Amino acid sequence: MSQDYSEWEIQYMTRPEVEEAFKKYKMVILPIGATEQHGPHLPLGTDTFIANNLAVKLAEKIKALVLPTVPFSYSWVWRDIPGSIVVNVEHFKALVEDIVRSIANHHIEKLIIVNAHGANDASLKYAVRELSDEINMRIFYFTYPAFQEIKKYTESPIWHDTIHACEIETSLMLATNVDLCHMERAVCEYPDDRLFHKYRESSLPLGLTSKSGVFGDATLASKEKGEVMIEVMVNYMVKVIQDT
């Protein structure tokens, strides 16, 4: 296997290698991202890249296999922006359930979902609850774990605890793949609070509240902050998984 690839990611393994890996390891990680706009400075695959990076770093700590990252999920608020892929909530939930059922056939003891797209959280919660009644396997799901802790490493306010192309997400992406970030285009934009409350209480697309697609100050992001945040997030997940 090329040194460019993580030894834990099954998408790079052959059939005999995967069969041997499933005999050796009893924990599997499913990273989930999205395909949607992330302002003028980050790629559409930001959530997907971050989820995969977190999953691989977690795998190295707990000795788990990593499934291919799901790149499409619920991105309704950006549905009118070119390139955004929106998966129906029920379809997304069903997809996750089918993936978990497939893995459960191989005598896996723990499955960990690492989600880097906040809009997926509700679907994942109900999918995991329903699967737990059906499958004899411990299932965890994390969406921006240790969020309150990683906020301590920011210099700018987090707009209503919404992470999108802001200082946090931009820092995470810089630490994940700096070559895909265009910091010379990064902006600071905080949408009108009145529009936020309308969004929460109606069908107003959140995308209408930000002209740039940024919810915060992306200009204050740094690779160094991202590396610290990733370490905090991974260590948090390790503790939860090992203590449960």
Q: What is the pLDDT of residues 142-190, one digit of tens each?
A: 999 999 999 999 999 998 888 999 999 999 999 999 999 999 999 999 9
27: containing domain: 10-243
DSSP secondary structure letter of residue 77:
G
Cα distance between residue 49 and residue 230, in whole Å: 13
Task: Taking residues 20-47, report their average pLDDT.
Answer: 97
Please check whether residue 1 lies inside any domain of the structure: no
Q: Is residue 131 in a domain?
A: yes
- Tens of pLDDT, residues 27-37: 999 999 999 99
* Tens digit of each residue's pLDDT (9 = 90 or more) over 80-128: 899 999 999 999 999 999 999 999 989 899 999 999 999 999 999 999 9
* Inter-residue contact 97 to 127 (CB < 8 Å): yes
Q: What confidence score (pLDDT) does residue 204 get?
A: 61
User: For residue 79, what is the domain's CATH number?
Assistant: 3.40.50.10310
Report the phi/psi class of residue 131: left, alpha or beta, with left for phi > 0 and alpha for psi in -120 to 50. alpha
Query: Which residues make Cβ contacts (< 8 Å) with residue 113, sequence separation at least 6?
Result: 29, 30, 32, 96, 124, 128, 139, 140, 141, 142
pLDDT score of 222: 98
Examine residue 41 and state whether it is found in any structural domain, yes or no: yes
What pTM, to 2 d.p., does this model score? 0.94
Domain count, the chain: 1
